[in-house]
Structure formats: structure tokens, C-alpha cells
Amino acid sequence: MAVQALDGTRVPIDWQRLAMPAVLIVVGYGLIPAYASSYLVEAILLPFLALSLAAVGLNLLTGYCGQLSLGSSAFMAVGAFAAYNFNLRIDGLPLPATMILAGISAAGIGVVFGLPSLRLRGFYLAVSTLAAQFFVQWALTKFGWFSNYNPSGVISAPHLIVAGFPLDGATGRYLLSVTTVIVLTAVVWRLVNSATGRNFIAVRDNETAARVIGVPVLRTKLLAFAISSFIIGVAGVLWAFTYLRTVEPAGFNLDRSFQILFIIIIGGLASMRGAFLGAAFIVVFPLLLSRIGAFAFGDLFDSGVLDMSQRIVLGALIIIFLIAEPSGLSALFDRLKRRIG
Amino acid sequence: MSYYDFLFVIEVLVGGLLSGVMYSLVAIGFVLIYKTSGVLNFAQGSMVLFAALTFVSLVERGIPFALSLLITFAVMVALGFTIERTVLRPLVNRSPMTLFMATLGLSYIIEGAAQLIWGTQVHGLDLGIDDTPFEVGGILISSFDLLAAAIAAAMVAGLSAFFYWTRIGLAFRAVADDQFAALAVGLRLPRIWGTVWTAAGFVALVAGLLWGARLGVQFSLSLIVLKALPVLVLGGFDPILGAIVGGLIIGASEKLAEVYLGPFVGGGIEGWFAYALALVVLLVRPSGLFGQKTVERV
Amino acid sequence: MIGASLGAAAYERASEISAILAVANPVDDRRLARLSSRPDVVLALSGIGISFGGVKALSDVDLEVEVGEIRAVIGPNGAGKSSLINIISGLYHADRGRIAIDGQSFSQVPASRLARLGVARTFQNLALFGGLSVRNNIACGRVHTRRASFVEHIAGLPRARSEDAGIAEKTDQIVAFLHLESVADRLVATLPYGLQKRVELARALVAEPKLLLLDEPMAGMTATEKAEMAGFVRAARDRHGVTIILIEHDIGVVMGLSDRVAVLDYGRKIADGTPAEVRADPAVIRAYIGTAEGENGEDIR
């Protein structure tokens, strides 16, 4: 049996490749909703899904297109606050439409702050994305309209309904989250394996050569900013609506942007799987560290010490991965699989 | 505009210029490292925090001022060489983006370690400098800021002298100019990098003391790295002069903007104004005000 | 006054595309107009000059390239050969002079439109996309023919699919032509240097250019690899009819391969003609002997 591949050649169906997604779907839609405790869902799966999606978005821009961004959480904030306002101000707007509009808003802001990438490279671009980080946070705090004049700038998630089904419970929010993540990840996966995705990589690997052979470099970069910001914006909606339920602008700070960058470094730049492995690591690692710390040091290991040792270990891991395994957990995973299979 | 309005503008301007010097102080640390190893060291801010925290903790434990200074400096030297050995050397020949991300990791380690060792509480730091403003021709000037400016000026002079008249300074410039050529004539890069990180550590120490005395020694000290970034971009990464002038421009225009633009948009614009300014300059001059324009080799 | 001799339409197009920053020189323009109006001239340069930081890399260089020829540009190190190719491909902007590509005249060639103008090039230092496979690197060479948007690609709509199929077919042909089948699915960064050079040639050829610029395609190769590469270059001309400008250090290869040779020295063209004429030119011999004493010796004979 064979199928038509993207490039037109006929390739045999690789059942092994299909096995993995099938298992994930059974687990994601069958086992987890049926058996997972609400702690597992609320404290681990929901942040994991939102951060994974944000990392998929950032990976598109930084991993595939080579444009370093330190402003991811600003785009998450734009998504979250846009969704809040669309939902608040347009009566009866369906939730999926709200999420798409929020993504488009984030994409618009992303393009604006991506414009400097047409002239700037590397660090200079990083500075531009930092400008986005600080400006967005400032604007959301300063102008009460964004939070419907809540005195502390806090927004709360609305009632979540899709096609008549209320999704406010832990399982409902999980299903909303997991479906969004699967759909958008599939879209991004198609994209990076298409000619457009190869343009991203061409711009990353050699911008001059890309321009000379006719890759529309400027358009490609802006497209990367737009799609990446769209995805990160929707991730922001998930973060605000399904995970935290109430957020304030200060929650989308520079540390969050760094966290998403760390996810793709640890998971593996330019790897779809890496975004998920990295996010899983970032979510689980502090929990593990606090258990291990409490076990080894007892009461000495208070939350302050936990916070500091978390920073140290995380920083060290970044450096170790950059030195020893630049392709991140994703490459480690591959090597492990080869050794076993 | 009345005479008093004019005086007010001047006063704001002078205040801004003086705080700009404080930004330059941090930016110089960046420039040193960037010049010789092409690394944008995001950990410069955490080095400032680390130096200040170490110093103030030593003083609080009853160790004399001068000895504390000496010990802190020794610690910074050890830190510089350790970073060279464990982070930079294994990453040699990797992309600037990789190196930048490594220093991001480094800043997490240093911040975490500094606070794990010395605790997270805020320390007051008294350098014995009187901070009562005095009046010159109707303008109030902070004597502390003036002293900070003087120290910064002395440091720039010292660094420039070091670069131009000593053997190792010459080696610095050679490395900054062309790493391969420098290697070819037998300059030992690891030692030079170790030294330059030490120098950056020294700058961090000075900046840490002055900023610490101003704001108190606490975690937020490491955030001054975010103030120094636009300075750096504005001045162009290369010359020390750029860091100084960039700092002055940002300091002055930030204060002016806060006073004259802030009220229209609700204030609090100092968080991003420097970035916006730097961006505008970059869009006109992509290599900053003083950066060299490089011809791309293909 | 410029448009008088040059086709008005062509001139308008040129000025619309690139702002005319270079100093207009009526003599250059007349020369250029005369040359570029000949249908058998693919590329005509007139009065090209460029300097970097006060150092003149090229001054007053003329060059015309006829359809189907292999045109070599040689010269000692620093003679300005690479600057010339970078000006033709729009990466450097000449301070003065004009460039006519296939009848269209420019003071600055727009690099982003180069592929659509029918010009492809290789780079002196490899400029491949290390994160893509050999096949995908080559396929990128036809990116200028793509019209489908990213949405069509994601959705797998007919136009995107047929573009992909057409490009895959052309890529396969070039892969076969340059004997790259055995490595076609490997990441290009994992290939040895000589093969990477060949992939770059493939990426340029797949665009089916009228004019192919080769910037030292054999630099750093072994003698066997050089002979092989020379064979590919000749075959590319013979089979695909592509016109080639070749910059090369190895004089032996150049003399055997090219139809006409231009010699640059200190940014000036000191000779231009068939290999035999150039070889006998006293100025060329002087230039080369002069450098042979100072450098590692490039033998012209």
C-alpha cells in the first residue's frame, strides 16, 4: 500500500510512524479523561499543554527560522487579553472563533515587532523582541480598558462552552486544551515539512544564499513572526482560560519568555517533538526537585532554597545541553530508541 | 519658556545624564567581553548582583571594607576564569546565538548561587557617600550621582589606558580585531578571555557597589542588565565610547520623556522607552551610532 | 539623455526597480546600450567601479558575455574577482557603472529578483542550507518558480501539490545528472566538502538559469575532484545551454575549460580574449610573475 507524499512521490505507509500518534490519541482522549486525577490534570497536564503549544510557536520562529525572540510571553499576554475582550465585547461569539481572533491579534502584534527583523539580526533583533515584552506588559497594565477596568488589571476566564457543551470542569478544560494543541501542532507540522518550512530553514541557515536563489526573505521572516505569534497567542488563551483561570499582565513577564526559550533549547531546536519533551521537563522538573530536595535535606529545603536551586540546575542544564547535546532531549530520545530497538 | 522652566529642563537633563553614566557602567562590562570574544554576555547583570552581594555580606560579617573589596575581587577573578574554562571553551566556534543562550543559562546559575549562598534579603550598602543634593546656578545636583560619574570616568580612562599601553591590552585589541590572526601569531586566547572576564567582573563589582548603594543590594540588581542592553545597541557594540555616549543619551532622553511624555500616556514608560529609542536608532543605523559597518563577506 | 539610446521601456523598468544611485555616465551607457542590445549578449558590464573603505577593489571594468560561452575571470588574490561576481548578483552595489542582464539595465542588480532574471550562482565559501537534505537543498533552487501560498501548502491544495511534483521531478533530473543519487537524502552538512560543492552547483542548475556564476567552484578540491567538476561544468553548458561565468584560481583548469578569459589585476581588467591570446599577453605574464614571487606561485603556463 502506498500514499501520495507531499513532494508527489509515492511512498509506502510507515505503520510504525502511525503507531505513535494512534497511541497518543487513545491516551489523550481515552485514558486521561477517564482515569487522570484532577491534580494531574490541573497541576501538570494543563500547564504542560499550554507551554508545549507556546514552545511549538517559538520553535517555528527561533528553531526553524533562526530569529531569536525573548518576547514570547508578551504574545501570550496579547492572546489572553484579546480573547478576554473579544469574548466580553462580542455577544455570543463562539469560543473557537474567540481563540482564532485572539491568535490573529497576537499575530498582528508579532508582525509589528517582527518588522525590525527585516533590518536587524541576532542580538539586535532580540532587543526588539524585548521591547515587545516590556511594551505589551506596560500597555496592558496602564490601560484599564484591556482588563475591563479591573483595579489590579486581573482578567478571569469566561464560561467555556463549545457547541453547547460546557467545558468548565477540569476534564472539559483538558479536552479543549488537548484538542487545540493537536490541531495547531498538526498545522505547524504540515507547515515545517512544506516548501514554506524549507524557506524558514533556508533563511536560518544562510540568509544571503536564500535571497539570491529567490526565497522572499522579508516575507518569510514576517510570516514566521505572524504564525509563531498566532500559535503563542492561542497558547496564552489556554494558559489564561484553561490553566490559571485568572491572570494579570505581570504573570506574562520576562521569566516566562525565558522559560519558553529554555523549553525549546532543552527539548531541541527545530524539532516538533522537542517542544513537548522540553515542556514536560519544565513542568515536572520543579516538582521532582522539591521531592528530592525535601527527601535529601528535610526542612532545610524550603521554598526559597527550592527556587534558587531550581534556577541553578536549570541554568546548568541549558549550558550542558548547548555544549553536549545541541539537539536537546529530542536527540537523546532518538538515541535511546535506537539503543533499545 | 520661562527661565525657571528652562532651569527645570536642565535639571532633568543633568539628572538623566548622571543616571545614564550608571547605565554606561554596566554596558562597559558587556563591551569588554563582546569586543574580545563576540559574546553578548547576558550574565553581566547577575555578575553585578553577585559582586555586590558578596561584598556586602562580607562587610556585614565584620570584615574590613578594603579586605572585603579584595576578597570580592578575588572571587570575581575566580568566577571569570571558571566561566572561561567551563562554558566558553567548550562552546568555541559555535554560533553567537548559542553563546548568548549559554550566558542566559549562566545568569540563572549565578543569580541562584548568589542568593543561595548569601540569602535573598535586601542589604543596605553604605559607601559613606553623602547623598544630599547641592545647588549649582539654580540647579540641584546629586553629589552621589556626581561621584558615580567621576568613578565611571576614572574607570573608562583606566580601561582605555590599559587597552592602549599595556602588552595584554594590545593582545585584547588584536583578538578583537581578528581571532584567527591572533591565534596564528601565538596569542593565548584562553588566558586573554579569562582576563577579560575578570576585567568585566571588576566592572561588575564597581557597578554593583554604586548601584547597590543606590537601590540596596537585592535580586533586582541583576535586572540592570535590561537597562544596559539598549545602551549597548544604541552605542553600537564595539567601542567603549559608544557605551558611554549611549548611556548618556538613554539616561537623558529617558528622564526627559518621563517628565514631558509620561503624563500623556499614564507614566511608567521607563520600562520600554529606552528600547523604543534604541530601535528607532537601529532602524536608521543598523550598526548603532558608533558601531563599525561591516561588509558581508560572501 | 540616458533613455535616448537605451530602450525607453527597458530604462524605465530599470529605474523602477533600482534607484539610480550610481553616477550616470553617458559614455558607459552608450557602450552598455550597444552591447546589451545585441541578442547574443547575456550580460554586459560597463565602467564598473567599487571601493571599500577608500580602497578601490574594481575600477572601470567592462565585460560582456555571449550566449552559451564559458567565460572565465582570473587574476591574483585580491584582484577583485569575487567583488565582480557579487556586483553581478546584487550583493554588492557598485559605486559606478551599469550592468545589463539579458537586455535589462541596472545600476544595482536587485538580489532578490536575481533568480527571476535568470541568474544563478554558487559561492566561494559554501552557502548551503545545512539543516536540509541534499534533495531539499537542490529543490530550494527552484523556489523562485513557486506561487502557492503557505495556506495551500498546509492544506495540500492542488496547486501546491503540482508545484511540489514538478520541482521534485526537476530535482531528480539534476540529482542524476550530477551523480548525487547515493547521498540525495542525507543532511547536506554531513557530506564531504567536494560533494557539498557539487550540491551547490546542483542547486544553481536546477533553477535552469540563462546565466550561471561560479565563484571558485573547484577551490580546495583534489585533482580528481577538479577534473570531475570541470566535466560537470562543461556538460552543464553543452546539455543545458547555460552561459557560465567562472572565477577560478587554478589557471590550468580555466585555460582548458573556458572559451574566453578576462584577467583582472588590482581591480582593473588587463587582458581579455581566448585562452591562447591571454596566455601570450605580456601584461598578464607580468601580473602573474609579479605575484608568483610574492605568493605561493600560480603558474600561468
- Print the domain residue range for B125: 3-222
pLDDT of residue C263: 92
In angstroms, the CA A132 to CA A136 distance is: 6
* Pair B232, B27: CB distance under 8 Å: yes
Contact call for B229 and A127, based on CB within 8 A = yes
Which of A21-30, A191-200, A224-233, B159-168 shows the lowest per-residue confidence on average (mean pLDDT)?
B159-168
pLDDT of residue B257: 87
Which of A97-106, A292-301, C171-180, C194-203 shows the lowest per-residue confidence on average (mean pLDDT)?
A292-301
Whether residue A16 has pLDDT greater than 90? no
State chain A's mean pLDDT as an integer: 91
Q: Would you say residue A53 lies in a domain?
A: yes
Contact call for C127 and B298, based on CB within 8 A = yes
Over range A234-248, report the average pLDDT.
Answer: 96
Q: Would you say residue B294 lies in a domain?
A: no
Q: Would you say residue A83 lies in a domain?
A: yes
Q: Nearest Cα to A35, choosing from A166, A170, A128, A126?
A: A170
State chain B's mean pLDDT as an integer: 82
Which of A15-19, B215-219, C2-6, C134-138 shows the lowest per-residue confidence on average (mean pLDDT)?
C2-6
Between B43 and B241, the more confident residue is B43
Q: Would you say residue A24 lies in a domain?
A: yes
From the first residue on, what is the mean pLDDT of each consecutive set of 10 residues in chain C (301 residues)? 37 38 53 67 93 88 93 88 93 93 91 94 93 96 94 94 96 96 94 94 96 92 91 92 89 88 92 91 79 44 42
Q: Find the residue in B nearest to C126 (Cα).
A: B298
Q: How many Cα atoms within 13 Å fall on the side-chain side of residue B288? A: 28
Among B residues 225-244, those touching chain A with beta carbons less than 8 Å apart: 226, 229-230, 233, 237
In angstroms, the CA C90 to CA C111 distance is: 4
Over range A283-302, report the average pLDDT.
Answer: 86
What percent of chain A lies above the pLDDT cut of 90?
A: 69
What is the number of structural domains in chain A?
1
Over range B105-124, report the average pLDDT.
Answer: 89
Contact call for C86 and B298, based on CB within 8 A = yes
Which of A78-82, B5-9, C236-240 shows the lowest per-residue confidence on average (mean pLDDT)?
B5-9
Residue C1 distance to chain A (closest CA, Å): 32
Burial class (CB in 10 A: 0-12, 13-18, 19+), C222: exposed
Question: Cα dihedral sign for A148, A150, A153, A154?
Answer: negative
pLDDT of residue C205: 96
- Print the domain residue range for A114: 18-340
The model's pLDDT over B18-77, given as tens digits with 9 standing for 90+, comes to 888 888 888 888 888 887 777 888 999 999 999 999 999 999 999 999 999 999 999 999
Whether residue B158 has pLDDT greater than 70? yes
Write out the three cell numbers for A246: 485568572
Q: Would you say residue B252 lies in a domain?
A: no
In angstroms, the CA C166 to CA B281 distance is: 45
Residue A341 pLDDT level (bands cut at 50, 70, 90): low
The region, left, alpha or beta by phi > 0 then psi within -120 to 50, assigned to residue B124 is: beta
Write out the three cell numbers for B193: 578571555
Residue B291 distance to chain C (closest CA, Å): 15
What is the number of structural domains in chain B?
1
pLDDT of residue C298: 45
Q: Would you say residue B258 lies in a domain?
A: no
Write out the three cell numbers for A341: 530497538
CATH code: domain of residue A164:
1.10.3470
Between A195 and B23, the more confident residue is A195
Residue B25 distance to chain A (closest CA, Å): 19
Over range B142-156, report the average pLDDT.
Answer: 82
B106 in contact with A at a CB cutoff of 8 Å? yes
pLDDT of residue A172: 94
Between B122 and C21, the more confident residue is B122
Compute φ and ψ for A94, nearest 5 degrees. -65, 150
Q: Would you say residue B227 lies in a domain?
A: no
Q: Nearest Cα to A89, choosing from A34, A25, A158, A41?
A: A158
Widest distance between CA atoms in chain C: 65
Whether residue A109 has pLDDT greater than 50? yes
Q: Which neighbouring-strand residues pair with C120?
A: C212
Q: Would you say residue B291 lies in a domain?
A: no
Burial class (CB in 10 A: 0-12, 13-18, 19+), B124: exposed
